[in-house]
Amino acid sequence: MVITPRILLNAYCQGIFPMADADDEQIYWYDPDPRAVLPLDDKFHVSRRLQRTIRRGNFDIRVDTQFRQVMRLCAEPSPERERTWISDEIIQLYYSLHKSGYAHSVETWQDGELVGGLYGVSVGGLFAGESMFSRVTDGSKVALVYLVEHLRAKGFVLLDIQFMTSHLKRFGAMNIPRLKYHQRLADALTKDITF
C-alpha cells in the first residue's frame, strides 16, 4: 500500500502511527497499549537545573525553520539507538504534512547552529511528538519545555509521546490504557486549534 499524507493524517486521527523497520525499511502501524503521554498541566515537571539553564538564555528557540533537517538529525544513530525507524520515506511523508501545516519542529540553536530539537504532528488539540535529538547538553529538553509552554498557551489538551522512556518519565510522562487514550484523542480532535 502506498502511504499518502492524507492516509498518515487519518491514521493519527484514529490513534495509529507508523514506524519503519530498521532492517528493511518496511513501514508498520502501531497503536500501543499502554500509551505514553506527557501532561500539559502542573504535573509536567521541569527540574531546577533545567529551569536555570533556560533562564540563562543560552539557546535560541525557533519553530519550523529546519523541519526536514530536524528529522534527519533525529534519524542519526545515537548511543541509545544504533538504528532508526525514521526512513527516507518517513521523512518525505512528514515533510509533506509539514508543508500542509500539520507537522512542526521546535528547534534549539546556539551560535547559529542547530543543536537540538523535536518534531511531531498537530491535529485539533492533539500534538503527537515523534522524535527528538540533542547535540549539546539539554538541547532537546529546552525544546520540549518550549513545546509544552506553547501547547498550553494555544489550548492543546493531549501531548502523545507514544512510548515511555526514562528520559521523558523525568518530565512527568505517564502510561495510560489504550481505551483512555482513544477517549482523550476523540476529545482533542473536537478542538479548533492551530499550532
Going by the DSSP 8-state scheme, the letter that residue 109 receives in this structure is: E
Task: Say if 193 falls within a structural domain.
Answer: no
The pTM score is: 0.95
The answer, yes or no, to whether residue 34 has pLDDT greater than 70, is: yes
CATH number at residue 168: 3.40.630.70
In a domain, 106, yes or no: yes
**pLDDT given for residue 79 in this prediction:** 64
- Identify whether 146 is part of a domain: yes
Per-residue pLDDT reduced to its tens digit, 118-168: 999 999 999 999 999 999 999 999 999 999 999 999 999 999 999 999 989
| 96 Cβ neighbours under 8 A, 6+ residues apart | 5
- Domain total for the chain? 1
Tell me, yes or no, whether 194 lies in a domain: no
C-alpha grid cell, residue 178? 489504550
Query: How sure is the predictor about 110, in pLDDT bands with cuts at 50, 70 and 90?
Result: very high
Domain limits for position 130 = 5-188
The per-residue pLDDT for range 59-87, each reduced to its tens digit, is 999 999 999 999 999 998 776 666 778 98
In a domain, 195, yes or no: no
Residue 116 covered by a domain: yes
